[in-house]
Structure 1
């Protein structure tokens, strides 16, 4: 693991085994004012995430040691952190697997560094936007502390990834209102069109798995509504 210090409070862990790509990403992020840490394989990435506590992780899927999907599972189990996944795979199933293990967003290689930095800034803004100091949302037996980013259902606390948390807050602030997939994509992901609706479905599935299958109602062909009682 290497360290590239830039004096910014925002620290990003870049996990990429191709040196040229890793250095290009690091140089661009340095120019944006971030502190950048580099790891080049699965085990080093997990160790770096645990010791450095980054604000965001840029994570390649194909890594030596073990792959990025396993890295994502392990770091999210230890501490929820926004993850932007990089993949050379174009199959939608691979993308959905990445989202299912806790990635918040993804880019398919080759990608523009301008687009990468825009996605990173958007992910960090999402985390800041969700945290309203002192705000607690209660809907039935669901309780959300947006200040501490903690969630309970029937007094049992559940750990969510940053994007799962924001999606839940978004639904909980409008209980029983049906929110369309394209609206969720625009307001949470910042995507201008509906091309990523499967990403919404994947995160809804994760919320149901963690908080109960009865929590969110599907309105077929439209979107989702929070139905906690």
Structure 2
């Protein structure tokens, strides 16, 4: 595989991490491991994995906290691992946004099968529905709807497309010219100040006060969708 699917394994048990690595790499996946919950989010941001295998019992921050933080910035698949098999743990994991749940001890081949199944579901869902979810913000580009604090709001297509693009690339700065190319297209002959007008309108409509996200101006460069 020239472009390998990247798996991030977050587990404080080195032996389990290496076992997962062995089976995953045999199937052609690239594997990145981290053993501490408090470092997990930093590694997640830096590595940009395609799927996360996440243990619940972790030093620094537990799996619940890590899953919650991942869901604030991404909707990529998460499979949770736990030595606990109680229904409460499974329900809590799924409510926090996990896509699947596997109880230790597990068969590595079953984990591989579940990873493949979850990725297939995710890819199918992603191809059918273009939707980005943040706390109190849902941007759906498939049916051009946008919900803020649970309320559906009317947004002109280009405003929604601009917000969708920026939110798809959290914390990345784009110049006005880059945004024109990505949202309006290369054949757009208008002024780059069009971006400023659309950003201004978006800010007026979005209630970002108290949220962990906001449209931010990077002076002298452009704009970004900042996620704290």
- Pairwise TM-score range, normalised by the shorter structure: 0.5 to 0.7
1:78 is matched with 73
The SS at the match of 1:80 is coil
- In 1, Cα distance between equivalents of 2:69 and 2:102: 21
Q: State whether structure 2 residue 55 is matched by structure 1 residue 60.
A: yes
The SS at the match of 1:110 is coil
- In 1, Cα distance between equivalents of 2:144 and 2:69: 19
Structure 1 stretch 6-15 or stretch 59-68: which is displaced more?
6-15
What is the correspondence of 1:73-222 to structure 2 with a 5 Å cutoff?
73-132=68-127, 144-146=140-142, 152-153=146-147, 154-155=152-153
1:175 is matched with none
1:39 is matched with 34
Structure 1: gaps (5+ residues): 1-5, 160-229
The SS at the match of 1:132 is helix
- In 2, Cα distance between equivalents of 1:25 and 1:79: 23
- In 2, Cα distance between equivalents of 1:150 and 1:118: 35
Say if 2:54 and 2:63, in contact at 8 Å, map to a contact too.
yes
The count of corresponding residues between Structure 1 and Structure 2 is: 147
- In 2, Cα distance between equivalents of 1:136 and 1:82: 15
- In 1, Cα distance between equivalents of 2:94 and 2:41: 18
- In 2, Cα distance between equivalents of 1:45 and 1:10: 18
CA change 1:120–1:136 in 2 (3 A) is: closer
CA-CA distance at 1:132 after TM superposition: 3.2
- In 1, Cα distance between equivalents of 2:141 and 2:3: 28
Structure 2: gaps (5+ residues): 132-137, 155-159, 165-228
Deviations 1:115-168 (A, max 9, x none): 1000000111111112337x789xxxx98435xx986342389x9xxxxxxxxx
TM-score (structure 1 length as normaliser): 0.58
CA-CA distance at 1:84 after TM superposition: 0.3
Say if 2:145 and 2:153, in contact at 8 Å, map to a contact too.
no
The SS at the match of 1:57 is strand
- In 2, Cα distance between equivalents of 1:119 and 1:20: 20
CA change 1:82–1:136 in 2 (3 A) is: closer
Say if 1:8 and 1:33, in contact at 8 Å, map to a contact too.
no
CA-CA distance at 1:62 after TM superposition: 0.4
CA change 1:119–1:152 in 2 (3 A) is: same
TM-score (structure 2 length as normaliser): 0.58
Cα RMSD after superposing both structures: 2.9
- In 1, Cα distance between equivalents of 2:48 and 2:9: 13
CA change 1:48–1:150 in 2 (3 A) is: farther
